[in-house]
Every structure is written in C-alpha cells, then in structure tokens.
Amino acid sequence: MSTPRTQAARRLRVSELLAAGDVHSQEELRDLLAGEGFAVTQATVSRDLIDLGATKVSGPDGRAVYRVVDDAAMDTRVDMVRLVRTAHELVVSVEASGNIVVVRTPPGGAQYLASAFDRAQWDPVVGTVAGDDTVLLVARDRLGGDHVAAEVLTMAEGRAPKGAGE
C-alpha cells in the first residue's frame, strides 16, 4: 500500500510521529518527513504544527518535545485560526441581508470555506449552506447579518474577529 503525498496524509503522519516519539525541533520533524518522501519547507512544518494544535511540552528527559494536545479549547482555537486563514485565502466578496450573509469564493472554494465555518463553531453563525462559489451564513441574531459580514471581512483581511477564542 502506498501513501499519497497530500496535505492530509502528511498531517496524519506528523500526528503519528509526534505521538510515537520525541520530536524536539521543526528541523527534526522536517527530516523525518523527508525520509518518508514528504519534501516540505520549514514554513510548511510550522503551519502543520499550528493547524494540528501541537505544542512544546517537557519530555521524559526534561527536554522540550512537540505533542498534539487533545483539548477541546485548543481544538476551538486551532479551528478559528484555520477559519481565519481559509477566509483570507478564499473570500472574494461579502454581502448581508437581515440575518443572511452571502460570501463569494473562487469556483470550487465554497464548500471548503463553509466547512471551516462549521468546524470553528463560531457563535454568531448558526449554520452554513455551500454551493460551488457561494456560502450562505445564517446569523444567530435575526438582524445580525451586517455584524457577521463585517467580521467575515475582517477574517478575509487575515485578522481574527472580535471575541474569537472566547
């Protein structure tokens, strides 16, 4: 059986490597991945560690090692970081009407962006519906579309919305 060299496969392997042994540095992790056919840059390794919620903790020998923390609060923070990054990459335009926000993406990007909203469980949004290049966000507040639209624009600029991570 062969493993594809996709982002998902690489991140799964990073999680496995961190769980199986003591990885002390990003360079060490990069070397381990390269040995398995994943040619990655230090920036990619850094992004993977952030997206997986890996943190440095004290290892058995007292040296710092990377571990993926299984903690709901950490997961929520990681999902919000992922949402902001995804919005920054995909949002083309935003328009509000009442409690509905229409977010346009490049073709094929809507479902990926809607999934990021769903995973982040961002409180002002009660749900999403995605097509090919359009995401409908339903604001929790019946007149909250303008607020949600403004915060989505903030995310599109690469900044976290107000109250994120609370």
Q: What is the pTM of this model?
A: 0.57
> Residues 78, 50: contact at Cβ < 8 Å?
yes
pLDDT at 72 over 60: no
In this structure, are 109 and 148 located in the same domain? yes
In this structure, are 77 and 145 located in the same domain? yes
> Residues 87, 116: contact at Cβ < 8 Å?
yes
Q: What is the pLDDT of residues 83-114, one digit of tens each?
A: 999 999 999 999 999 999 999 999 999 999 99
In this structure, are 92 and 130 located in the same domain? yes
The residue that leads in pLDDT, 148 or 9, is 148
Count of domains for the chain = 2
Q: Single out the residue of 96, 37, 24, 100 nearest to residue 65, CA to CA.
A: 24
In this structure, are 97 and 151 located in the same domain? yes
Domain CATH code at residue 98: 3.30.1360.40
Ordered DSSP codes for 76-91: HHHHHHHHHHHHHHH-
Alpha-carbon span 130 to 41, nearest angstrom: 33
In this structure, are 53 and 97 located in the same domain? no
Residue count (the chain): 166
